[in-house]
Structure 1
Amino acid sequence: MAVKPIPEGFHSVTPYLTVRGVDKIIDFLRKAFDAQVSHEPIKRPDGKIMHAQVKIGDSCVMLGEESEQAKATASTLYLYVPDVDRVYQQAVRAGGQSVMEPADMFYGDRCGGVKDQSGNSWMVATHKEDVALPELQKRANEFMKQQGKAA
């Protein structure tokens, strides 16, 4: 039997987060987003996690502890959920630092966000409205004008 070029359960693009304290990040993801660990993490000789995989919803996220060859870098991930307000509160209770309380956005999503202990931003959203491109551009322009007034 031939090996699949994209493994079962994966999509074409898979986030790989290099973090500090990967075990703490995995714990946060479990509590905040009901992440499931896909398999036993692979450890380095020093006992730290070299590679782990979690599944959040239908998506896999790979994680690894930073090393001399791969330093931790902060990323932003956008996570669609059925109830953004509930998941945002769950993420805050799990230790996420609020960066934005959920709000209805001009592009049709209700969105909020938290940061994990390694500095990654997790933007959590529920899609509420399909917005046609001309209307989306109009709303984006209005949003940018409002932002300029607020600055």
Structure 2
Amino acid sequence: MHAPAHISFAPVLYIKNGVTDISFYTKALGAVEVMRFSNDDGSLHVAELSINGAIFHVHEETGKSNLFNPSKHNGVTALIGLFVPDVDAVMEKAEKNGAEVIAPAQDYDYGYRQGEIKDPFGHCWVIQKKI
């Protein structure tokens, strides 16, 4: 069996039903919307986005009991790490576009500059770079 030429993760971020605007990801994180499938009422069913080649999906909740948006359980089950060249600039842009700063950016002894935000849909991101 041959290994694929490129392996990557593509997380799926679940959101509440009825959302039409996910522009936070393009405005704040520089994502490009690759494709979108909308419901008849114009709300989002699923969108594929890419940040500098890293793909992730935003998907409305479905009837599956094990896939839910963060507000269902007042928190998240995964923290998304995003490596960027300028942590402070991305955090500032994210906050201006509706993110909540959970932890301000700072340098850590293990060699990373990191800060944490919560996006408008409740997903938490660690904005980081190696220093």
Question: Partners in 2 of 1:18 and 1:114 — Cα distance?
Answer: 17
Question: Over the residues paired in the alignment, what is the CA RMSD in angstroms?
Answer: 2.2
Query: Match of 1:142?
Result: none
Query: Match of 1:111?
Result: 114
Query: Match of 1:18?
Result: 14
Provide TM-score, normalisation by structure 2. Answer: 0.80
Query: Match of 2:34?
Result: 38
Find out whether 1:56 has 2:51 as its counterpart: yes
- Whichever structure has more helix as a proportion of its residues is 1
For structure 2, the 5+ residue unaligned runs are 71-75
CA shift at 1:118, angstroms?
A: 1.7
For structure 1, the 5+ residue unaligned runs are 129-151
Question: Partners in 2 of 1:124 and 1:95 — Cα distance?
Answer: 15
- Whichever structure has more strand as a proportion of its residues is 2
Question: Partners in 2 of 1:62 and 1:126 — Cα distance?
Answer: 23
Count of residues paired in the alignment:
120
* Contact 1:11/1:59 (8 A) holds in 2: no
In 2 relative to 1, CA 49–11 (structure 1 residues): closer, same or farther, beyond 3 Å? farther
* Contact 1:22/1:64 (8 A) holds in 2: no
Between the aligned residues of both structures, percent identity stands at 28
Q: Which moved more, 1:15-24 or 1:53-62?
A: 15-24
Q: Secondary structure at the match of 1:38?
A: strand
